[in-house]
Amino acid sequence: MLKLSGGSTKPLKYEDIVVSAFEMFPDEFALRGYPQYPDSSDLHKPLYGPLKREGLIRAANKTFALTARGVEKAQQLIGAAGDKLTKARDGNRMTRDVQVEVERMLASAAFKLYVNGQRERVLDTDFYAFLGCTVRTPRNDFLGRLTATADAVSAAKKLKQPEPEAAALLAEAWAFLEKKFKPLVNRRKGSN
């Protein structure tokens, strides 16, 4: 809103705020499943909730304006963010869906056992949980989870996120799991 208003308390249309946020941060403000479209719900709640309650914005008839306090706070936040804000815009970061996948894998028992040198203790149930599914997951859903997992690991490794060491360990763990559970995967695929 600070950029859109030119650093002022000028009123802005809700739709302009939604489109501007999407253009600046498409990964954060894209409609889930339709990344080419903005998702207004991610802006609606803060605009009508905490930002208004804290006196950072004024709202009337789907128009919003930063208050003087809001302008000051936005400038402080931008100053504090520094390079992080630029990094968030450059596309060299994980999308929300990939981030969720990676966080799940890093928290999984399979990953923890791998990192702690207990690879032999990784069970098929750990493998399924690493993928985000179960033994009862239908075949095509299972194959989709395999693809989503491989894509997320690849993105984490390429972008070296969330941290370079964690991304490298995740890629190693995935390679280990793929090899260890190749017969299981082939059975699920319907091949030998």
pLDDT in tens, 53-70: 888 999 889 899 999 888
Mean pLDDT within 119-136: 96
Angle between helix 124-131 and 139-159 (nearest 10):
70
Mean pLDDT within 182-189: 95
* pLDDT for the residue 114: 97
Q: Which residue has the tokens 């990094």?
A: 87
* pLDDT for the residue 84: 62
* pLDDT for the residue 3: 87
Q: pLDDT tens digit string along 7-52?
A: 899 999 999 999 998 888 887 888 877 888 888 887 888 888 888 8
Listed in sequence order, the residues at least 6 apart from 49 whose beta carbon sits closer than 8 Å to its beta carbon are none
Q: Is the pLDDT of residue 85 over 80?
A: no
Amino acid identity of residue 173, one-letter, is A
Beta strands in the chain (DSSP E): 12-13, 30-31, 34-38, 57-60, 63-66
Listed in sequence order, the residues at least 6 apart from 23 whose beta carbon sits closer than 8 Å to its beta carbon are none
In a 10 Å sphere around its CB, with 0-12 CB exposed, 13-18 middle and 19+ buried, how is residue 27 labelled? Answer: middle
* pLDDT for the residue 90: 47
Could you tell me the maximum CA-CA distance found in the chain, to the nearest angstrom? Answer: 67
Q: Is the pLDDT of residue 154 over 90?
A: yes
* 137 touches 128 (CB < 8 A): yes
- The Cα 79–Cα 155 span in angstroms is 29
Per DSSP, the three-state class of 126 is helix
Q: Which of 101, 106, 93 is nearest to 167 (CA)?
A: 106
Contacts 24+ apart (CB under 8 A), 17-25: 17/43, 17/47, 17/64, 18/43, 24/89, 25/88, 25/89
Opening angle at CA 150, ends 183 and 91, nearest 5: 175
For the chain, what's the residue count? 192
- The Cα 96–Cα 107 span in angstroms is 17
* pLDDT for the residue 86: 54
In this prediction, what percent of the chain has a pLDDT beyond 90?
A: 53
Q: Is the pTM of this model over 0.85?
A: no
Q: Is the peptide bond before 183 cis (omega within 30 degrees of 0)?
A: no
- The Cα 8–Cα 10 span in angstroms is 5
